[in-house]
């Protein structure tokens, strides 16, 4: 399934960045789109194929963010495109909440088979991850007749009103929107970076919930659900200690609390398993899915125990959720994941983790390295080991100018979440670019990191592509948005 990666010279940067067409389009965009959009760098995309993105000026980039972990099968996989075209020629929409069509119930059947848990399940379809979380909130409250919910500091569950009440990744996502949904309580996520068993890791978090939260703040029989990301995404791509999810599951079982796994970013094969929670052998009561489920088509879902999904007709619905075209794309996506892309995610992820550990020994700016499959994060740190967010931002920008697309997460982490079609050659190229940007020769000017300095230097080709050049140039509007 990796034959979608044609022999492009990637990266291949032919103009300054942004190029002349891109600059004009960024200016047009910023006159009419919401200032709430967080544009990371001035990339104006014309097309994508496999792990390659080409901008409107003909510059080709190696994509290691996959549209924020969405394009699981790569950009425009021919089998997914064919499935979309076939379905679009027959039926675009008929609202699966009121009528029946095969792609919706076929996908529902498949999701009940591939998600963890041998018990009977039911599926509710949405259009996005945040809608999946909203549906899970409503179902948990309806079924348990309890109001309160527990989530974790650093978590990201979405930006709609219920979901953002759970989210605690950045204050800017919540500021000005109160009062939010009542009854949401946050506790520390299990963090075992640098091998340390911190107070917020594993047993410490469980003990805090059991002995402090349930004794001083909220009765356990008034908690409907605990929402948890198996690997915390926006919070830093944090992998919890081995016992954490199993002990959290046991706590939920003791008190009749629902275990809700938010697999929106970690699911659909990204970690080498269909759902990341499978790495710990835990079976959730509700699973939230989206992002990689349909290779870029807007689709989400919750998969829940059949006995739990007991709400009556009309209690919850969606006009567009489970759209037939999106469902067709999802069915083909799952087939591709099962045909080898999950195994490739595990294989390439293991290679990247091992090589990043080597880079860590070479570059003191790299702190903790962690991940599973192709969901990998590493921290950038100052000389004293403290987080270095400016250096992280500068590295992302420097890599962009060298033709590698990355994103940040957490306080000062870099997230690596490429399409699951990436090859070892792609990974070697990405590693070489990151190493080059981290190891720029000479001292950076005052107030400017080495990574930022190298963004304006001509590239020394770390890959088969040697026709790149990079000039640091961004629009004032884009820079302003990134500073928020």
Q: Which CATH architecture has domain 81-335?
A: 3-Layer(aba) Sandwich (3.40)
Q: Rounding to the nearest 10 degrees, give the CA dihedral for residues 457, 461, 466, 470.
A: -20
pLDDT score, position 9: 85
- Residue 304 β-bridge partners: 122, 286
pLDDT score, position 5: 62
Task: Answer whether 293's CB lies under 8 Å from 299's CB.
Answer: yes
Give the model confidence (pLDDT) of 144-171 as tens digits: 999 999 999 999 999 999 999 999 999 9
pLDDT score, position 439: 87
pTM of the model: 0.91
Helix axes 342-362, 424-438, angle to 10 degrees: 20
Residue bearing tokens 């994508």: 48
Model confidence at 192, pLDDT cuts 50, 70, 90, reads confident
Task: Answer whether 336's CB lies under 8 Å from 162's CB.
Answer: no
pLDDT score, position 193: 77
Task: Calculate ∠ Cα 180-252-288, nearest 5°.
Answer: 55
Query: Is pLDDT larger for residue 353 or for residue 475?
Result: 353
pLDDT score, position 1: 57
d(CA 480, CA 144): 45
> What integer best gives the mean pLDDT of the chain?
90
Q: How far does CA 182 lie from the centroid of its chain?
A: 27
Give the residue extent of every domain in the chain.
81-335
Model confidence at 106, pLDDT cuts 50, 70, 90, reads very high
């Amino acid at each position: 399934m990796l034959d979608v990666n044609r022999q492009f010279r990637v990266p291949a940067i032919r103009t300054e960045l942004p190029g002349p067409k891109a600059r004009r389009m960024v200016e047009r965009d910023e006159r009419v789109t919401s200032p709430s959009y967080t544009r990371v760098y001035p990339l104006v995309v014309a097309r994508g194929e496999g792990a390659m993105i080409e901008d409107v000026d003909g510059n080709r980039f190696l994509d290691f963010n996959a549209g924020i972990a969405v394009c699981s099968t790569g950009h425009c996989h021919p089998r997914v495109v064919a499935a979309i075209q076939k379905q679009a020629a027959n039926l675009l929409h008929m609202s699966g909440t009121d009528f029946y069509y095969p792609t919706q119930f076929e996908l529902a059947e498949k999701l009940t088979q591939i998600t963890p848990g041998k018990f009977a399940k039911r599926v509710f379809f949405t259009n996005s991850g945040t809608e999946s979380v909203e549906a899970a909130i409503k179902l948990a409250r309806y079924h348990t007749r309890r109001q309160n919910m527990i989530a974790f500091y650093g978590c990201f569950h979405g930006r709609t009103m219920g979901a953002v009440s759970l989210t605690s990744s950045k204050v800017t996502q919540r500021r000005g929107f109160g009062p939010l949904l009542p009854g949401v309580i946050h506790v520390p996520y299990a963090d075992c970076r640098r091998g340390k068993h911190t107070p917020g890791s594993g047993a410490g978090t469980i003990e805090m919930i059991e002995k402090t939260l349930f004794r001083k703040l909220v009765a356990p029989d008034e908690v409907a659900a605990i929402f948890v990301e198996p690997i915390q995404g926006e919070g830093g791509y944090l992998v919890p200690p081995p016992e954490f999810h199993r002990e959290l599951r046991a706590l939920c079982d003791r008190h009749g609390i629902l275990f809700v796994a938010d697999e929106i970013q970690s699911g659909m094969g990204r970690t080498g398993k269909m759902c990341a929670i499978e790495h710990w052998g835990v079976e959730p009561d509700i699973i939230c899915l989206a992002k990689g489920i349909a290779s870029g088509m807007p689709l989400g879902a919750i998969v829940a125990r059949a006995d739990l999904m007991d709400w009556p007709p009309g209690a919850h619905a969606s006009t567009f959720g489970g759209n037939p075209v999106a469902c067709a794309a999802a069915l083909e996506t799952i087939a591709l994941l099962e045909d080898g892309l999950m195994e490739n995610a595990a294989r390439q992820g293991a290679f990247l983790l091992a090589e990043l550990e080597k880079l860590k020994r070479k570059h003191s700016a790299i702190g903790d390295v962690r991940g599973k499959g192709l969901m990998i994060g590493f921290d950038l740190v100052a000389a004293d080991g403290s987080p270095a967010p400016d250096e992280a931002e500068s590295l992302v920008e420097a890599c962009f100018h060298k033709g590698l697309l990355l994103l940040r997460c957490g306080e000062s982490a870099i997230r690596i979440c490429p399409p699951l079609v990436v090859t070892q050659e792609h990974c070697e190229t990405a590693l070489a670019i990151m190493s080059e940007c981290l190891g720029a020769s000479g001292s950076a000017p005052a107030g400017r990191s080495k990574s930022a300095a190298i963004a304006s230097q001509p590239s020394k080709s770390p890959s088969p592509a040697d026709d790149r050049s990079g000039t640091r140039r961004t629009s004032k509007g884009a820079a302003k948005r990134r500073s928020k």
